[in-house]
Structure 1
């Protein structure tokens, strides 16, 4: 005879997420957030524009994100808008445009910029320098030197006044303008082609005077 045996259903508790697992996930999430925040801060910095030296492209009280990463993997280029530590007071930061590159001869003449003797086209400039703010002069840049100028030449404290800056002073390349929201934008940098060649001195046929046998006193 067949018998039916009543079997109780399996009511053993299902595995549940313990408090320890939840705490571990929360901790891992927080560590991930901290890691991302740290990486972002290592690769970027935030600055506020003060003054009017970069008109018409930047105004006072505009907030920028600056990329440090660009100059970790590459070098500043002519036309780049950069933030750097003021050489005479590294606690102050300036924003200017890179004009001259290492090894180049930069000349200011009649308010115009010449690179290795070739005039530089600068469509981003508000006004050319006047004789009262930019005297005719020339600089020869060292191996790691950069010549920087403000776009508003007549109201800018830049390399005309304090000379070239060393690469170690450069913080990074301006990347995003994020405040005020109405002027939010990805910052454009003027791109130039190959740099003008360094002029080769022209040999002359002028005879060299003979050395004197005696030395004057």
Structure 2
């Protein structure tokens, strides 16, 4: 009898063990499925956030050329803020990206120098602004330019409502408003916000402020 009871006890324990293994297997399977489901949810939520941000709020650009040296170098990777100008006006000194008026397939990067309703004169290597604050003209001090850079050429432009005059920081190697004229606000894609490459120059960018 003792032997039979032992066999019965062993059989009962084996049955309970089988049931536990099945339950454990079920739990494990459910855990993997739940993990995959949650992972899919996270990916979908991330895409729902990233896609609008990528196409409507910020956009990446590579600098192509030397027209903004020394501030921005060739092949630097920049992130552009596309939303700010929907709620505020561009400010003198901000660096902006826009489509080249003579070939919209090309994107240009330049600095805003002249604002709406101002007169701007490029002459004798300098930029002179005429506005309500400076009716007699003010020669612009531009500390972001290299010491050996002068603003070549001649321009005398009266900017209208919503018009902006842009120049590259490398004035001797820049195709800008001296050639193609002023830009309208709605032609500005956005302003430079962050430098993502190279690694030693990564960071949020501060635009030079003239204070007027």
* Interval containing the TM-score (normalised by the shorter chain): 0.7 to 0.9
Task: Answer yes or no: is the 8 Å Cα contact 1:53–1:155 preserved in 2.
Answer: yes
Partner in structure 2 of residue 215 of structure 1: none
Alpha-carbon distance between aligned partners in 2 of 1:180 and 1:192, rounded to the nearest angstrom: 28
Partner in structure 1 of residue 98 of structure 2: 84
Select which of 51, 54, 65 maps to 2:68: 54
1:115-168, Cα deviation, whole Å (9 max, x unpaired): 1122111111221123xxx12x31111211110000111110000011001112
Select which of 103, 109, 119 maps to 2:139: 119
RMSD, aligned α-carbons: 2.3
Alpha-carbon distance between aligned partners in 1 of 2:111 and 2:31, rounded to the nearest angstrom: 57
Deviation at 1:20, TM superposition (A): 7.7
How does the TM-score come out when normalised to structure 1? Answer: 0.75
Task: Answer yes or no: is the 8 Å Cα contact 1:50–1:60 preserved in 2.
Answer: yes
Residue 195 of structure 2 is aligned to residue 177 of structure 1:
yes
Deviation at 1:82, TM superposition (A): 0.6
Partner in structure 1 of residue 117 of structure 2: 103
- Greater Cα offset, 48-57 or 177-186: 177-186
Select which of 31, 34, 38 maps to 1:25: 38
Task: Answer yes or no: is the 8 Å Cα contact 2:116–2:161 preserved in 1.
Answer: yes
How does the TM-score come out when normalised to structure 2? Answer: 0.77
Partner in structure 2 of residue 128 of structure 1: 150
Deviation at 1:24, TM superposition (A): 5.1
Structure number with the higher helix fraction is 2
Partner in structure 1 of residue 185 of structure 2: 167
Partner in structure 2 of residue 4 of structure 1: none
Task: Answer yes or no: is the 8 Å Cα contact 1:86–1:169 preserved in 2.
Answer: no
SS of the aligned residue for 1:32 comes to helix
Select which of 36, 53, 58 maps to 1:44: 58
Partner in structure 1 of residue 4 of structure 2: none
1:183-202, Cα deviation, whole Å (9 max, x unpaired): 212222111223xxxxxxxx
Deviation at 1:30, TM superposition (A): 2.5
- Give the number of aligned pairs: 181
Select which of 61, 65, 69 maps to 2:79: 65
Label 1:23 to 1:55 Cα distance change in 2 as closer, same or farther (>3 A): closer
Task: Answer yes or no: is the 8 Å Cα contact 1:97–1:151 preserved in 2.
Answer: yes
